[in-house]
Amino acid sequence: MDSFSLLQAVIIFVYLAGTVLVFAGPILHKERLKSLGNAAAVAGFALHTLNIILYLSLEQGLALTEGSFYFSLLAWSLLLIYFILWWRLRLGFLGLTAAPLALLLFVSSLATVGTRVAMPKSLIGVFFSLHIGSLFASISLLTMAFGAALAFIYLEKKIKTKAKLTGLGKEMPSLNMLDKVNHWVILIGFPLYTLGLVTGFMWARQAFGRVFSWDPKEVVALFVWFLFALLFHQRLALGWRGRKTAVMAIWVYGFTLLSLVGVNFFVVTHHGFK
């Protein structure tokens, strides 16, 4: 095993340890385990950052055409967004969503080595920084909203039925705090998704000669944008709160996953991994 592979193995181990600890802490009601879980997430993130830097330096421009790199980058982006929300909202509960998904995405990056996505070399810099960067930040925010939405629906049902909270339920934030996560995600995530979509259409114009070609990836991405736009309008213009926005956030995230995984791997598209 070379040093690069060893680093990846260590990252998996640290992420796995963090995932176990962030679940064990709330279940056992041990603050020490929660702290260790967050410390493991930070350590894994630092090592993951080093891994990305080394990967970019070793592969140079080719890294940005490899499917495995994008899964790794999405895992990194997810944790970055989690840390920002953790710092801004003091909400470590979102680690229950971020930690296992970061682990899953990083492992998936190793399982997809050899897959590639086609792009003109002249557009790699712009494509990467604007299109991928804004979309991955938006998807990471939606992931946090998804976790908060599931928790909101579960907690609201428990409160309405006056059922006793056990295990993780006792550690859940208030409904108001979970709704606040939804608000922040919509406020920041929709403009980022819009930027990602616009730059994607600009890239398509340069790469394929037209802005929109009814490619399955483009159709699904545009549908997600309309759903996200509706959620943005209903939340900020009409004042939707609570269960309505939680359910809609789940739907938006579900179609985002369909676009990211289902279309990229199982449908013939210009944007798919080959």
167-225 pLDDT, tens digit per residue, is: 777 778 888 999 899 999 999 999 999 998 888 777 766 666 666 666 777 788 889 89
What integer pLDDT is reported at residue 201 of this predicted model? 77
Alpha-carbon span 171 to 27, nearest angstrom = 8
Least confident of 34-48, 91-105, 167-181: 167-181
Q: Taking a C-beta distance cutoff of 8 angstroms, is the pair 267, 216 a contact? A: yes
CA dist., res. 25 & res. 234, Å (int): 36
> Does the pTM of the predicted model rise above 0.75?
yes
Closest to 41 measured CA to CA, from 72, 68, 2, 76: 76
Q: Is 267 exposed, middle or buried (0-12, 13-18, 19+ CB in 10 A)?
A: middle
Residue 147's pLDDT band, with cuts at 50, 70 and 90, is very high
Among 94, 88, 122, 106, smallest CA distance to 203 is for 122
Our measurement of the distance from residue 165's CA atom to the centroid of its chain's CA atoms, rounded to an integer in Å, reads 28
Query: What does the pLDDT average to over 138-154?
Result: 92
Task: Calculate ∠ Cα 168-173-179, nearest 5°.
Answer: 125
- Residue 66 DSSP SS3: strand
Query: Distance of CA 161 to CAs 56, 156, 165, 167, 225, Å?
Result: 52, 9, 11, 17, 35
